[in-house]
Amino acid sequence: MSIASNFTSILSKDWEINFTQCAPNGYLKYTELCNMLQLTAAAHSETGGISFTDMQEFDQAWVLSRIRVEIQQLPQSGDTVTVKTWINSLENSRSIRALEMYLNGKKIVGSETFWAVFNTKRRRPEALALPFSHFELYPENRATAIAMSKIDVKHDKEIKFEKTISLSDLDIVNHVNNVKYLEWCIDLIDVNLILKQQLESFEMNFLKELSLRDTVSIHENISKSKTVFSITKEDKNCFALLLNWK
């Protein structure tokens, strides 16, 4: 474990938006937004000595359990944004991390994330093996207007798609990367809702990990102001996505 000399409990990192990260309308894709948030969180954990590499000495990794993202506007190709992150809570195997994105000094995105420490060999949560008391916590400094929630997937739903997990879906922890779930679901939505930026906020709940060659079903339930997706394996819920429309 090595704490960087420039470590601070609140990290700000600049990112330049390039054309490969953008949809046909020229604005940042929602999947790339999530990637950017995740990479900023990873950069902060690296400077603080609790990165993936540090944790792998104990067969541990951070995995995302829940995320809420509230969007005022999306940046465009060529924009430089600043993503700021800090930790609301961190104890044992769980942590809540806040993230905000700014464009020209204006906050355009707020996100609340819930992370768990995961043993990559035993495939189960456990207490963080590394010290973390050098991180100052900011429990009152929230990044979103509404807190994360447990998404209700018990209502009637329609099977929209079935797929088998392939190698390109997996990440370094050897399970489906969290952004892949969002990508699968967004590809099933009316493109006009996405290209006209009608998405006001979204939440994701990650319930059970998915692995190579798993076969899953993607379900959809639509109402006037929201869409709920769920992903099941052998009729057991593995993932839920709530999209709130303007």
Q: Do domains 1-145 and 149-246 have the same CATH topology?
A: yes
Residue pair 100/106 in contact (Cβ under 8 Å)? The answer is no
Digit-coded pLDDT (tens) for 231-246:
999 989 999 999 999 9
**What pLDDT is stored for residue 90 in this prediction?**
95
Q: Is the CATH number 3.10.129.10 carried by domain 1-145?
A: yes
DSSP bridge partners of 196: none
In the numeric block, the tokens 């008391």 are attached to 133
Digit-coded pLDDT (tens) for 189-242:
999 999 999 999 999 999 999 999 999 999 999 888 999 999 999 989 999 999
**What pLDDT is stored for residue 82 in this prediction?**
98
Residue pair 153/237 in contact (Cβ under 8 Å)? The answer is yes
Residue pair 208/236 in contact (Cβ under 8 Å)? The answer is yes
Non-local (6+) Cβ contacts of 104 within 8 A are none
Q: Which two tokens stand for residue 176?
A: 């489906």
In the numeric block, the tokens 């541990």 are attached to 60
CATH code of domain 149-246: 3.10.129.10
Res 32 pLDDT > 90: yes
**Percent of the chain having pLDDT more than 90?**
93
Would the pTM of this model clear 0.75, i.e. be above it? yes
**What pLDDT is stored for residue 153 in this prediction?**
87
| Structural domain spans, the chain | 1-145, 149-246
User: How many Cβ atoms are within 10 Å of 6's Cβ, its own excluded?
Assistant: 7
Of 105-114, 147-156, 224-233, where does mean pLDDT reach its minimum?
Answer: 147-156
Average pLDDT over residues 100-123: 97
